[in-house]
Amino acid sequence: MNAVLPLAKANGSDCAPVLKERGQREVFCGLTGIVWLHRKMQDAFFLVVGSRTCAHLLQSAAGVMIFAEPRFATAIMEERDLAGLADANEELDRIVDQLLARRPEIKSLFLVGSCPSEVIKLDLSKAAQRLGAKHAPRVRVLNYSGSGIETTFTEGEDACLASLVPVMPELSADAPANLIIVGSLPDIVEDQFMRLFADLGIDNVASLPERAVADLPGVGPNTRFLLAQPFLGDTAQCLKERGAQRLDGLFPFGIQGTTSWLQAAADEFGVDQDHFDAVLAPYQQRAAKAIAHQRERLEGKSIFFMPDSQLEIPLARFLANELGMVLTEVGTPYLHRTHLTQELAALPAGVQLSEGQDVDKQLDRVRAAQPDLTVCGLGLANPLESEGLSTKWAIELVFSPIHGFDQAGDLAELFARPLRRRDVLRV
Amino acid sequence: MQLSVWTYEGPPHVGAMRVATAMEGIHYLLHSPQGDTYADLLFTMIERRNKRPPVTYTTFQARDLGKDTSELFQTAALDVVERFAPDAMLVGASCTAELIQDDPAGLIEKMGLPIPVIPLELPSYQRKEHWGAAETFYQIVRTLSDKNRRPSDRHGRRPLVNLLGPTALGFRHRDDIIEISGLLGKMGIDVNVTAPLGACAADIAKLGEADFNIVLYPETGDLAADYLKREFGQPAVRTVPIGVGATKDFVREVAELAGVDPEPMLKEGLSRLSWWSRSIDSNYLTGKRVFIFGDGTHAVAAARVASEELGFKVVGLGCYNREYARDVRAAAKLYGVEPLITDDHLAVEKAIEDAQVELVLGTQMERHIAKRFGIGCAVISSPVHVQDFPARYSPHMGFEGANVIFDEWVHPLVMGLEEHLLTMFRDDFEFNDHAGASHLGPGHSAPVKEEVPAAPANDTEAVWSEDAQRELKKIPFFVRGKAKRNTETFASEQGVATIELATLYEAKAHYAR
Ligand code: SF4
Ligand code: SF4
């Protein structure tokens, strides 16, 4: 993961000071990604092998939406599993049988590791092989870890997508070039991007993940991919190992980011620049109009990012460059410099970045900075509000459609709303 | 292993958090990985607390394992003392830390911290949230209560009691204790300490000064009350004052222990529920089929109110916490139903579906189940969601609590007249049963499933004539399934091959309650 950083071309401001912190964190673990991944991949089921805590986390993060039985569950380990009274593997097989009997429509099953399963060294990749053989061809069984000792929040999606890469079909060296959008996007956003690529004249575009795991795109030496999310380091690495090449651009947030992201593909696929500009122009104008509504509210306002989803740096870049916000501290749980080279270069000079967390010390800094807006997790938002600090829950940024031109205005609005509310209330 | 989609209870350390968060000046150091910090949001979001729970998570990572997790723990302990200066510190392990066996209790003892430290042993793979809360509260009481305090001379002072059990994230705890403290005040009784909710270390120290204890929430207060009985000889009142009848029993029991006259508190009209329930508008409530599920204490209490005070018919009763299964079994016998002791919400869903109910009294989970079936529902027990922490005063205990219960339980039902009109004008395009109860708003449509099959499922079953089938559709949806099954059973018992209009009505007469 810790690749050496190639220096940025632009103003070199990615040498901005980075405060590295190691202390108590206040972030979700990677299991949380299941909340949106299970909606995206409609033929997949996520079975966490964990404790009651893991089950409770999922339920708390999902907000207990029981309108339909969700496509995830937890195999809760009990005393007898640990005391060796029951063979954990046999128990797991029994649970999986039970599950597949109840949900015959499931085509792919992810066994998701947790802290407890890792600490007791329950080998889920072996279990996945065994169960995969048993339930083939009806069900494909995969595994990854979403544990809190290994993954922070969005890294769970990274681990999940990385587990899909080895089962993507092989494309040969003479296969036509194809493009893969990597990262789970809301369907509406994915469709918008597909239309844009078609207009640009790039076909043969697929997504990882697709809406069904069964439709995984092929990968080979002529495969190029764009990361739609900044937190997909391992997935990118796995794709590279299969011969694919990453196209480097800003992440597709705001006009600047989306343009740069599409440009990376256009350059690679030889799209004529005039055509590119002509296709994008109406989108850019529309987005500019939408953003302008929010700009007057956000311009000059200061913002503090607590580390949460790894989206912080691209979002900070958008807010600073397109909405005129003032960045105080931009925290990220993990700074993936290789993928963020351009992002870091596009940040205003001298921004304070921080990586990792010591939550109490960081809260001291929030209080000292008195930002107009603090982006933070659900556990911190109300306490900060009660201290008079406006907040934006970070998790909403992961659950809402925020990528691309047509969401740029909505994205800005997510940040403007808490401020508007503060101005409106007279209580 | 146990396959679980939604859980009624979190792990035991979440119970400990409910106690720590309820109190003042108590800090909880939890040895745990980062993801376990999700639990903060239960308090800050669901209960809208304006402070972070007083919990420090050590948040060890994979790279710390085997090396310095214990050092991490000790550093965190020093940080807690320095930053928060608590009056006492709870220390414990979450499920993962339990497996790495760092022994928080031993580590902390070696450190010789300047404040009282209470090590918690909460076996995550055996126990759950309520037990964790009860055990934590008990350990706090055991450690922090001053063993030399005793009640002062009884003469010339009002009797003094402790209210035990309310925690953070509890269902209506905030308002119940106001209601009950007020009721006791009117009886001439003072509250010495309410704990854990709102108590600090000094309050716990003086628990021994009360004449007796009142356990409002046995799930979280029982263990501490048992200890106080052993240590200080304090008797405990365990009648939970939910509903008019139970509140009156409670008043009698308390009065007896306090040596005061219960009569002023027993007179008619202290709760409006009694008259509201007897007023003729409430006639239609008679025999409404109600399914009750929650924690053992609230479920049993609700069953009594439903049956004796609203005239409902209890058709299902259960709890998710085995620790209180005995009480639920006893109550179930009283109402002639099969007790449902399970923490599998799918089993609860099945039971609700089978019981053909008109009202569900349950937890957050049953609310969702009821919503899916289009049945009215009121919440009576934790686990609960953000809307169960209302801004207005809404206790469930005491006489005012009974008023609140009347409103909350009757409101989701189809109203008396509305019910008649539904039956009379079934074909009105917007006033029909698929539209659901008018006051439930648009999202709440009745289930459209269970249509009458034209052909029998197998050849031993009777066939429905067209007339009978049409008539069946005119029966309100919430009893239609039952009418259908009864008629079919009746038909097969009578050896009737085709169900005619008459068969339907004969069956109706046969099964008339
Ligand atoms: S959002 Fe509404 S429906 Fe969903 S869990 Fe929360 S309260 Fe229930
Ligand atoms: S941090 Fe570990 S134990 Fe806690 S919920 Fe996440 S995977 Fe489960």
DSSP calls for B292-349 = EEESHHHHHHHHHIIIIIS--EEEEEEES-GGGHHHHHHHHHHHT--EEE-S-HHHHH
Is residue A170 within 8 A of residue A219, CB to CB? The reply is: yes
Check A152 against B56: CB less than 8 A apart: no
Q: Is the peptide bond before A137 cis (omega within 30 degrees of 0)?
A: yes
State whether the beta carbon of B100 lies less than 6 angstroms from ligand 2: no
- Amino acid (1-letter code) at residue A183: G
State whether the beta carbon of A64 lies less than 6 angstroms from ligand 1: yes
Q: Is the peptide bond before B383 cis (omega within 30 degrees of 0)?
A: yes
CB-nearest to A55 from B7, B44, B96 is B7
Which residues in chain B touch residue A122, judged by CB atoms under 8 angstroms apart? none
State whether the beta carbon of A63 lies less than 6 angstroms from ligand 1: yes
d(CA A225, CA A207): 9
- Residue B375 phi, psi (nearest 5): -105, 150
Check A78 against B126: CB less than 8 A apart: yes
Per-residue pLDDT of chain B (513 residues; tens, 9 = 90+): 999 988 999 999 999 999 999 999 999 999 999 999 999 999 999 999 999 999 999 999 888 887 788 889 999 999 999 999 999 999 999 999 999 988 899 999 899 999 999 999 999 999 999 999 999 999 999 999 999 999 999 889 999 999 999 999 999 999 999 999 999 999 999 999 999 999 999 999 999 999 999 999 999 999 999 999 999 999 999 999 999 999 999 999 999 999 999 999 998 778 999 999 999 989 989 999 999 999 999 999 999 999 999 999 999 999 999 999 999 999 999 999 999 999 998 899 999 999 989 999 999 999 989 988 889 999 999 999 888 999 999 999 999 999 999 999 998 886 555 555 555 555 554 444 554 444 444 444 444 344 444 444 445 578 899 988 888 887 766 677 778 888 888 888 888 889 988 888 888 888 775
Q: What is the pTM of this model?
A: 0.89
Q: How far is B13 from chain A (nearest CA, A)?
A: 9
Which of the following is catalytic: B146, B281, B428, B467? B281
- Ligand nearest to the Cα of B389, by number: 1
Whether B36 is catalytic: no
Could you report the predicted ipTM of this complex, rounded to two decimals?
Answer: 0.92
- Ligand nearest to the Cα of B93, by number: 2
Q: How far is A95 from chain B (nearest CA, A)?
A: 6
- The SS3 assignment for B414 reads coil
Check A66 against B385: CB less than 8 A apart: no
* Ligand 1 atom 6 nearest Cα: A63
Sheet holding A72-76, edge to edge: A140-145, A108-113, A44-50, A72-76, B2-4
Pick the atom of ligand 1 nearest to B364's CA.
Answer: 8
Which residues in chain B touch residue A25, judged by CB atoms under 8 angstroms apart? 34, 37, 57, 59
Pick the atom of ligand 2 nearest to A57's CA.
Answer: 5
Q: How far is B145 from chain A (nearest CA, A)?
A: 31
Total length of chain A? 427
Other Cβ atoms within 10 Å of B341 Cβ, number = 17
State whether the beta carbon of B239 lies less than 6 angstroms from ligand 2: no
* Ligand 1 atom 3 nearest Cα: A65
Q: How far is A350 from chain B (nearest CA, A)?
A: 30
Closest C-alpha among B390, B394, B362, B365 to residue B377:
B362
CA-based nearest residue in chain A for residue B97: A116
- Ligand nearest to the Cα of A65, by number: 1
| Best of B363, B386, B388, B440 for a ligand 1 pocket test (most atoms within 8 Å of beta carbon) | B386
Is residue B165 within 8 A of residue B216, CB to CB? The reply is: yes
